[in-house]
Amino acid sequence: MQINRILGASAVLLMANAAWADGPTCSVSRSQVSLERRLRQVYLDLLGRPPNLAEYRFIQSKGEILEDDLQELMGRDEFYGRLKGYHRALLRANVSTSITTNGDTRLQLATDGLKPLELRGNPARPLRGRNGQGCDHFINQDNCNALSEDPHAEPAVKTCRDALGVPMPVSFDYSTDNYTCTRLNTTNAAITDCTAAVTLGAIPDKHLFFCDMRRIGTAGTPAPHLCLPQAGNPVTAALTEEVLDGDSRVIAFRNPTAPSGQLSRLDRCGLDLILTGGVRGRYATQTGCVQKEGVVSVAPPFWETAPGNVTMCAIEAQTSAVNPWTMESCESGRFTGDRSCGCGVGARRCESGSGAIHNARVTAVNEEPLQLIETVLRRDEDYFNILTTRRGVVNGTLSQLYRETQSPTVWQSTAPTQPSLVPNVALTETNTWVEYTRDEHAAGVLTTAAWLYRFPTQRSRVSQFWSAFLCKSFSPPAGAVVPPPEDSCNRDNNLATRCGCSYCHATIEPVGAHWGRFGERNAQYLDPTLYPKVSAKCRDCALAGNTTCDNECGNYVMQAFDGEGAQSLGLLRTYLYRTRDEEPNIVGGPRLLVERTMQTGELEKCAIKNVWNHLLGRDMTREEERLYMSELVDQFAMSNHNFKHLMLRIVSTDAYRRVD
């Protein structure tokens, strides 16, 4: 039998060679698949699952999959779930790595004393003098004289709040960033405080002011410690000169030969704060000191469901909209370093320590454009409404984020309309989505927080729009030559005209202007009434050398790197290097971009290519484009760009029916 198989195979090869000797005479035949296999393919593509037995038998009884059958499938929730996955991939809707958060605005629960909620991490340095430091967990802020931590060093009467109600320090510790603190009562229990430490000879009288009553253990029991500049730190070890007061007690350690800019002196700690620049209300802590405020009882944070007040550190518990002394806004990232601001009403400027609120926001922001798209698809609207509609959707998480201006540090996003006009959905209603109308600058998914955060610059937004909706990419033309590095053209700050870069940026820059009224690396809308084209204040700051203008001019040109930049100080950055023909793009926004690309037919063709790839698992071949594209474009347009109709037409093509 083995010999027969070999002879048979040889005969086939000879016949094939004889046929090809006269040139190719046959082609590969692609037959239509069986009804059952096609049915399985349709169900997988439209619903994401194979048909069940009843669904198989129903179609078998009919002998064919009719258009009515396909339309019925496209009305099921499973189909819309499938489309959600399709558009999630198309938009790359995931902002989890685009939101910068290090937990600095999360309220953590202390485990000792009165167990207050407090901010730790980086904000603790400007507020209390040391990273990770909370408030005093044992002293009530508004009854701060009821308890003294360091009676030998505190004033007879402490000031609980300043004249405008800002909480003042009620206790202090020497910072272990600068001092080595040695406990004094480990061998003698009679040394109960600093005065006893001097009386019993544990420390010399001259060091009394550097004796610190520090709380230890889970019970927070105070114990005296002698705190002296760290000997192992070259900077503090050089502070060898003792500065004495009239009673021959040390009030400071100094280094008279410290190089300029290096720490030259550490003064005794107390409860007095420093006024930055001598400005009242711009409080700063004393170097080497941890200066702590006490606690208060306040209404619970907005995410708390249990009834009754909670204990919170007095700084965090404040609800000020502005610093009452300087009138600087607390509705920005600066609130974490201003001791007069706090977390706001209901702790709206802060987040839960567990991270649950942050995670819910990421989920909601990712879901928002998909929910918006679904409203268009379910109503059989023009598909490209997903890029232009002013319709918006919010669930409880987004509703409260926008209505209450929550977490301005982490979520730098402008409410899509006046906060009071955003539907009021309870925070816990995360699966309830309510529609509303956004302001005139809104343009479908292209102005949602998901799009703006996921693609954080004008250029990245252009690139994604080109890729997802025009099926195009940016690349230099074949044979493009980049001038040598020494060519002066390489120093052109305008990428649209710089040598080599202009191949792509001559297109990218004008198109990017359509997002010119949207901030970069955030989801803020730069309203012309708040952000005029030219800011006289920012220009004056720039001319005076104040390039930040107290953090108010980040969206404006504040430094000159070329002649045009020098003439543009105080200009909204998006207008820099714009021609007169490009400025209307800023005013028209993303909706104008969509309207222009609709006129070229590129949006329609790209939508067809994307759906083709989704259903057939591969791109259109050139032959398929020649056979189907023109007809599909016409049918898509005649259906008022009905997305389901487009899918129906592609599923009905011979290419989809054939075995691949």
pLDDT digits (tens, 9 = 90+) for 637-648: 999 999 999 999
Q: What's the whole-number mean pLDDT along residues 110-122? A: 94
> Is 660 a residue whose pLDDT tops 80?
no
pLDDT digits (tens, 9 = 90+) for 129-138: 999 999 999 9
363-378: burial string, b at 16+ Cβ within 10 Å, e else? ebbbbbbbbbbbbbbe
The answer on 273 and 141 residing in a single domain is yes
How far from 560 is each of 352, 489, 540, CA to CA, in Å?
42, 18, 14
pLDDT of residue 32: 65
The answer on 200 and 117 residing in a single domain is yes
Give the Cβ contact number of residue 127 at 10 Å.
Answer: 27
Q: How far apart, in whole angstroms, are the C-alpha atoms of residue 111 and residue 134?
A: 11
pLDDT of residue 7: 37
The answer to whether residue 253 is domain-embedded is yes
The answer to whether residue 13 is domain-embedded is no
pLDDT digits (tens, 9 = 90+) for 142-183: 999 999 999 999 999 999 999 999 999 999 999 999 999 999
What tokens appear for 448 in the block? Answer: 């949602």
> Which residues have a Cβ under 8 Å from the Cβ of 346 and sit 6 or more positions away?
299, 300, 301, 302, 404
How much of the chain, in percent, has pLDDT values that exceed 70? 95
What tokens appear for 443 in the block? Answer: 């343009």
The answer to whether residue 302 is domain-embedded is no
The answer to whether residue 32 is domain-embedded is no
pLDDT of residue 20: 40
The answer on 142 and 273 residing in a single domain is yes
The answer on 153 and 246 residing in a single domain is yes
pLDDT of residue 51: 97
The answer on 246 and 138 residing in a single domain is yes
The answer on 288 and 374 residing in a single domain is no
pLDDT of residue 5: 41
The answer on 387 and 263 residing in a single domain is no
Higher pLDDT residue, 100 or 414?
414
Q: What's the whole-number mean pLDDT along residues 34-40? A: 91
> Is 552 a residue whose pLDDT tops 90?
no
Number of domains, the chain = 3
Mean per-residue pLDDT of the chain: 92
The answer on 259 and 361 residing in a single domain is no
The answer on 380 and 288 residing in a single domain is no
The answer on 264 and 119 residing in a single domain is yes
The answer to whether residue 392 is domain-embedded is yes
pLDDT of residue 3: 40
> Is 19 a residue whose pLDDT tops 50?
no
Predicted confidence band of residue 219 (pLDDT cuts 50, 70, 90): confident
What tokens appear for 417 in the block? Answer: 């309309």
Residue type, 425: V
pLDDT of residue 123: 87
Q: Yes or no: say if 64 and 37 are a contact pair by the CB < 8 Å rule.
A: no
pLDDT of residue 31: 53
The answer to whether residue 499 is domain-embedded is no
Domain end point (choices 274, 292, 310): 292
What tokens appear for 578 in the block? Answer: 């714009």
pLDDT of residue 141: 98
Distance of CA 274 to the CA centre of its chain: 34
> Is 529 a residue whose pLDDT tops 80?
yes
* Structural Rg of the chain based on CA atoms: 35
Q: How far apart, in whole angstroms, are the C-alpha atoms of residue 445 and residue 395?
A: 16
The region of weakest confidence among 36-40, 193-197, 610-614 is 36-40
The answer on 417 and 284 residing in a single domain is no
Q: What's the whole-number mean pLDDT along residues 352-377? A: 96
Domain end point (choices 427, 452, 477): 452
The answer to whether residue 173 is domain-embedded is yes
Q: What is the CA angle 64-628-51, rounded to 5? A: 30
Domain end point (choices 452, 487, 508): 452
- By residue count, the chain amounts to 660
What tokens appear for 303 in the block? Answer: 């995410």
pLDDT of residue 204: 97
The answer to whether residue 461 is domain-embedded is no
The answer on 271 and 147 residing in a single domain is yes
- Provide the residue range defining the domain that includes 641: 601-657
What tokens appear for 224 in the block? Answer: 């005296």
